[in-house]
Amino acid sequence: MRSSSSSSSSRSETVVVMFPFMAQGHIIPFLALALQIERKNGFSIIFINTPLNIRKLRSSLPQNSSIRLLEIPFSATDHGLPPDSENTDVLPYPLVIRLLEASTSVAPSFQKILQDLILAGRKPLCVIADIFFGWTATVSKELGIFHAVFSGSSGFGLACYCSLWLNLPHRRNGGSDEFSLPDFEEAKEIHVSQLPLNIFEADGEDSWSKIQRQNLSSWFDSDGILFNTVGSRASVGKQKGVTSEICWEWLNAKPLNSVLYVSFGSMNTISPTQMIELATALDKSKKNFIWVVRPPMGFDINSEFKAEEWLPEGFEERIQGRGLLVRNWAPQVEILSHKATSAFLSHCGWNSALEALSNGVPMLAWPMAAEQFFNAVLLEREVGVCVEVARGKNCEVRHQDLVAKIELVMSTEKGSEMRRKACELREMIENAVKDHDDDRDGCFYKGSSPKALDDFFSAAMNMTKSN
Ligand code: UDP
């Protein structure tokens, strides 16, 4: 049933405040969720971020969107960060922790935003904030506002990640390289090589441990967690190394299921020796490919890519016509949705994984940080749509092994089976997001995703009424 005009006007007066951490992999799913809430639930959304991120977001919002982008004051240099570094994608890895620490300094401004809304008679129905912003739960609770943490990670990956931070089990396992998680046995055995560097190095007293312990304990002030289970459909502007049209035309000229797409997300890059091995593997495998290249570790990630310095001699000439090197940023969702794309070599960030699966594309996993190792486990062991090819930023990678795994996924019966499973998942995802509003054949079906979102807002309304 469609809403009546009076209930739709009260809906548009209902405020939802959203606040992601300053990283592309966080902002993208938040924006996708904001657009979905605007479209399906008709609420008035206030999307908060630091000034530079808000400026970038302006060009990513559809023109007819009423989402209000709100700048929260933040100056990177006040926190010992380079000028204008307001997003992890412009920071070398060691400075990411400093941005995270600096982000807590906006708490008073955030509280003032909520207080001003209350004073203006527009008390938010709920605050939806980042997994790294546990402190927003405490602020919201004090003001009697329903709060949810929104995770752009998989439930499985996040459970492993939180358990690792809270228990640091590798510090207590008597020197063994394998251990299990005391509060999440479903993860089974974890090997020390699957730990992200910051957890591997953590001893409980380092900066990451301190901030995560504080962050995760504040989650107890929150009223719930939302997970991104069925994919993001928003793209946030970054300087693309190639236009979508050029990419699409290039793919149009390639046979069905013949192209390997290689990308490690918005922040990661590989070491100079790993880059040579990967290039050699792409050269020797003789498959078509699109590779998003960035300067390797140890070089400024935002500097120009120097193919003559970082790739094997003559590489670009040899792969002409067969390989497309995209500098810095590619139109990933478009590439994954093209019929020519066969497989995705990925760091297994959860957005990338969902974008692959919602297009029926199997994966080769090279997890590098955060919960990516456990996303890879979930996709390979539990779901069967992925093969791990390498592990970690400092691992030794041999081009022979990469070639064998590329062959396995792109040219064997096992690879076809993975593609079949990925296509089944694509269908499950399509069904999960279906809503009768979108349905043209008159069948009033509502998928699990919009249903879950309706339940979520009902819970927020019930709590607000009972307050
Ligand atoms: N992305 C993109 N082009 C690129 C690299 C990344 O559009 O060249 C997008 C990708 O589609 C995904 C997001 O950036 O939506 C990366 O998020 P993910 O969770 O996969 O990884 P993270 O960047 O958080 O490590």
Q: Return the CATH fold of 244-430.
A: Rossmann fold (3.40.50)
| Residue 211 confidence (pLDDT) above 90 | yes
Contact 23, 267 (CB under 8 A): yes
Of 176, 21, 28, 157, which Cα lies nearest the Cα of 91?
21
Q: Give the rounded percent of residues in the chain with a pLDDT score beyond 90.
A: 85
| Residue 441 confidence (pLDDT) above 90 | no
Domain with CATH 3.40.50.2000 in the chain: 4-233+448-466, 244-430
| Residue 233 confidence (pLDDT) above 90 | no
pLDDT classification of 1: cutoffs 50, 70, 90 = very low
Per-residue pLDDT at 265: 93
| Residue 16 confidence (pLDDT) above 80 | yes
Using the mean position of ligand 1's atoms as its centre, give its distance from the Cα of residue 351 in Å: 6
What are the strands of the beta sheet with 15-19, ordered from one edge? 68-71, 44-49, 15-19, 126-130, 146-151, 224-227
Residue 66 burial (C-beta neighbours within 10 Å; 0-12, 13-18, 19+): exposed
Name the helix (H) or strand (E) containing 263: strand 259-263
Amino acid at 110: F
Mean pLDDT of 193-210: 96
Q: Is 227 left (phi over 0), alpha (psi -120 to 50) or beta?
A: beta
Per-residue pLDDT at 2: 40
Per-residue pLDDT at 437: 61
Could you identify the atom of ligand 1 that is nearest to the CA of residue 153? 19
Mean pLDDT of 82-109: 95
Q: Give the rounded percent of residues in the chain with a pLDDT score beyond 70.
A: 95
Amino acid at 291: W
Per-residue pLDDT at 438: 54
Of 62, 132, 56, which Cα lies nearest the Cα of 89?
56
Which pairing describes strands 68-71 and 44-49: parallel, antiparallel, or unpaired? parallel
For 274-295, write each residue's pLDDT tens digit: 999 999 999 999 999 999 999 9
Mean pLDDT of 257-266: 96
Using the mean position of ligand 1's atoms as its centre, give its distance from the Cα of residue 425 in Å: 20
Which pairing describes strands 190-191 and 178-179: parallel, antiparallel, or unpaired? antiparallel
Per-residue pLDDT at 19: 98
Name the helix (H) or strand (E) containing 267: none
**4-233+448-466 architecture in CATH?**
3-Layer(aba) Sandwich (3.40)
Average confidence score pLDDT of the chain: 93
pLDDT classification of 237: cutoffs 50, 70, 90 = low
Could you identify the atom of ligand 1 that is nearest to the CA of residue 23? 24
Pocket test for ligand 1, best of 151, 239, 242, 266 (most atoms within 8 A of CB): 266
Alpha-carbon dihedral sign for residues 341, 343, 347, 348: positive
Mean pLDDT of 133-157: 97
The conformation of residue 304, written as its DSSP 8-state character, comes to P
- Compute the distance between CA of residue 389 and CA of residue 271 in angstroms, rounded to an integer: 16
Using the mean position of ligand 1's atoms as its centre, give its distance from the Cα of residue 228 in Å: 14
Amino acid at 449: S
pLDDT classification of 12: cutoffs 50, 70, 90 = confident
Our answer on whether the CB atom of 24 is closer than 6 Å to any ligand 1 atom is yes
Angstrom distances, CA of residue 450 to CA of 34, 122, 240 = 13, 25, 32
Which pairing describes strands 341-346 and 363-365: parallel, antiparallel, or unpaired? parallel
Using the mean position of ligand 1's atoms as its centre, give its distance from the Cα of residue 326 in Å: 14
**Reported pTM:** 0.92
For 345-369, write each residue's pLDDT tens digit: 999 999 999 999 999 999 999 999 9
Provide the token pair at 351: 């957005």
Contact 149, 29 (CB under 8 A): no
pLDDT classification of 439: cutoffs 50, 70, 90 = low
